[in-house]
Structure 1
Amino acid sequence: MKPSKLAKGFQARPDTTSSEKRTALDRLNAIDDLVKNDTPSPVKPAAVRPEPVLHAVPSPVEAVNTNESAQYRAWRVANAYQPGQVIELDLKAIKPSPFNPRHFYLKTSIAELAVNLAKQGQQQAIHVIPDYSNDGMYFVSDGGRRVRALKEANKDTVKAVVVDLPIGIESYKLGYDLNVQRDSQTVFDNAVVWRRFLDEKHFQSQKELAEHLGLDESTVAVALSLSKLPESIMQEMVARPDRFGSNMAYQVGRYHSARGVDSTLRLINRIVSDDLSTRQVSDIVKGRVNPQEDVKPATRQRYAQRMEIKLDGVAVGDLKSYGDDRLELRLRGLSRDKRDDILRQIEQMLQKS
């Protein structure tokens, strides 16, 4: 495999093995433990950087950090920084990482967080990586949404922990994994970022990208197909993650290829207002249904109450109530005699009412 091409501002490190990646995750977890167990008062770095202090024999604290990268340790010693220490940095010194797995940030979400930060202050420090080629500057590793909200709230500084993480594609993968766990990574983020990775030759093929992320190639192919959509259309779908997963977005992408931007925006509004299912949208895309025709909404009413029914200790079905006027009885595994007996009893009950 050809070596990856790293974005400007990053310095390449040797290919990271799986064991090294595990080490990076361990470092991040160790930093979180340090912050949770001992959260010191924010300390603003000194305006004048102290001279590096070198020891012939490492101190006990330094001896623990045997897995530090050489660049990070040199930076840490030069700045008298202890791992896990929360410091206060100028927001102007923080810049987004070109390997950020997120591309879309909802304006409403940023505005809400900005109001909260203005009232409550920043409760959780962000994670940053030093820009080793540009002294005093940092890349966001985790906390891009908080940085945007702090700027929205007209703040000048941000509380941060400076972390030792691999630079480049590996830092993307770590951030991607964290976002997937938080359920904050969207197919639209993937579409834009993955397309850029391929265009910039970080990966030589779609297959190589899928293997690196541990995903099925078809999953990557669906996301990349969305990268052809204008951002105005993607923004509309990003705002409704409950309605536009990868399958629905794929159908919208197909519709856009045939009908253009304006018609696609109208379809997106229709999907939201009429609660159309992916199958219904697929029928529209295939021309089986005119986009302006009335399509029965695919809503599923949630039952208000459910009672399990047992015969001789064995579950045979349930009785569900919906709203104020609907009952649904479902039974299975009955003998014909038992079924007919139940039917007669129900008929008698209805005749009496």
Structure 2
Amino acid sequence: MKPSQFAKGFQARPDTTSSEKRTALDRLNAIDTLVKNDAASPSKLTPKTTTMTAPADNDDANESPEYRAWRVTHGYTPGQVIELDLKAIKPSPFNPRHFYIKASIAELAVNLAKQGQQQAIHVIPDYGNPGTYFVSDGGRRVRALKEANKETVKAIVVDLPVGIQSYKLGYDLNVQRDSQTVFDNAVVWRRFLDEQHFQSQKELAEHLGLDESTVAVALSLSKLPESIMQEMVARPDRFGSNMAYQVGRYHAARGVEATLRLINKILSDDLSTRQVADIVKGRTGPQENSKPVGRQRYAQRVEIKLDGASVGELKSYGDDRIELRLRGLAREKRDEILRQLEAILLPAQ
């Protein structure tokens, strides 16, 4: 099958190598450093017709012609924090995120109302519609600012094409932050195929640098109603790819209402993926409506995070039982935790 026109355009400006991807990420990280070191109040963007002085980083040779023309016209220095009207900001059609948790947005809106915006978003000019910008990074902050009834947003204007390159960069950043979900992938990747940006699942996997089975699992979830996906998006610690896949199989056989009951059961009874797979195989079995004999509901649950990423949970049961589960730890961190637990629990020798 012939590659799509979208894929051909991507091949003309490849960004598939790890070194190039790292360079792009490092550039955005460097921009964030500039933001932290910048003055407290951003400058307002004012149109300018005279040619500006070359930027200090002397990196204009790598700029796209569109971006260079835009920044010269507006007197903009790369990395500069400016203040834009929120009404001029719009989501990118290649935003890797589809789902935003309302409670999380509301919480961030409260913080922004109290403390103000501390970190600038990244935007890309819509060269076809002057005065408007696509969000490259910061969609959650934009939503929270609107929730907080703000009228402006601090932003850095970056030089990226709106397309697969901007998608991949945003995707990589979200994966690093542990904020990209399989449900976002399901919706966005299905749209990529439906709009014929890619001609096949295989082509999509190749251009994203992912295993085809990973793409296949995500696309299988795109058949789920968004109401069901919304229920799982809020609990990424419980609904990873494997668990979501089993829920998708159950939905295909039992429908929406039964699937919503299953999701509630997974959360209330702390079911494992294996247990859910057994329920799926039973399909009409009575286990859907009955709790396992002798299973005890925890009294308290605390999520444990390291460097901002969830690594496990601590649960307490009744008056005499606690349960600690940790995963994905570096060996050094695991050994350190074990030594500390031994020091607490074992008597001195």
Superposition TM-score tier, normalisation by shorter sequence:
0.7 to 0.9
Partner of 2:223: 228
Higher Cα Rg: structure 1 or 2?
A: 1
Partner of 2:303: none
Q: In the TM superposition, what are the counterparts of 1:230-309 in structure 2 within 5 Å?
A: 230-287=225-282, 289-290=285-286, 291-296=288-293, 297=295
What is the CA-CA distance between 1:324 and the residue it aligns to? 7.1
> Aligned partner of 1:175: which letter?
G
> Aligned partner of 2:69: which letter?
A
Identical amino acids, percent of aligned pairs? 77
Once the two structures are superposed, what CA deviation does each residue of 1:218-266 show, in whole Å capped at 9, x if it has no partner? Answer: 1111110000000000001111112111111111111111111111111
Other structure's SS at 2:92 match: coil
What is the CA-CA distance between 1:41 and the residue it aligns to? 2.6
Equivalent residue in structure 2 for 1:53, among 47, 51, 54 = 51
What is the CA-CA distance between 1:22 and the residue it aligns to? 5.6
What is the CA-CA distance between 1:64 and the residue it aligns to? 3.7
Whether contact under 8 Å (2:82, 2:155) holds in the other structure is: yes
What is the CA-CA distance between 1:294 and the residue it aligns to? 2.6
What is the CA-CA distance between 1:325 and the residue it aligns to? 6.2
Aligned residues: 299
Partner of 1:136: 131
Whether contact under 8 Å (1:111, 1:152) holds in the other structure is: yes
Between the aligned partners of 2:93 and 2:296, the Cα distance in structure 1 is 41
Counterpart check, 1:184 vs 2:179: yes
Whether contact under 8 Å (2:120, 2:154) holds in the other structure is: yes
Change (3 A) 1:300 1:79: same
The answer for unaligned runs of 5 or more in structure 2 is: 301-316, 322-349
Between the aligned partners of 2:175 and 2:33, the Cα distance in structure 1 is 21
Change (3 A) 1:325 1:21: closer
Once the two structures are superposed, what CA deviation does each residue of 1:113-142 show, in whole Å capped at 9, x if it has no partner? Answer: 000100111111100011011100000000
What is the CA-CA distance between 1:205 and the residue it aligns to? 1.1
Between the aligned partners of 1:266 and 1:188, the Cα distance in structure 2 is 19
Change (3 A) 1:323 1:103: same
What is the CA-CA distance between 1:204 and the residue it aligns to? 1.5
Once the two structures are superposed, what CA deviation does each residue of 1:182-212 show, in whole Å capped at 9, x if it has no partner? Answer: 0000010000000001111111111111122
Counterpart check, 1:216 vs 2:226: no
Whether contact under 8 Å (2:249, 2:280) holds in the other structure is: yes
TM-score w.r.t. structure 2 length?
0.78
Whether contact under 8 Å (1:277, 1:298) holds in the other structure is: no
Partner of 1:4: 6
Other structure's SS at 1:268 match: helix
Between the aligned partners of 2:110 and 2:299, the Cα distance in structure 1 is 36
Between the aligned partners of 2:71 and 2:4, the Cα distance in structure 1 is 32
Two-structure CA RMSD over aligned residues (Å): 2.8
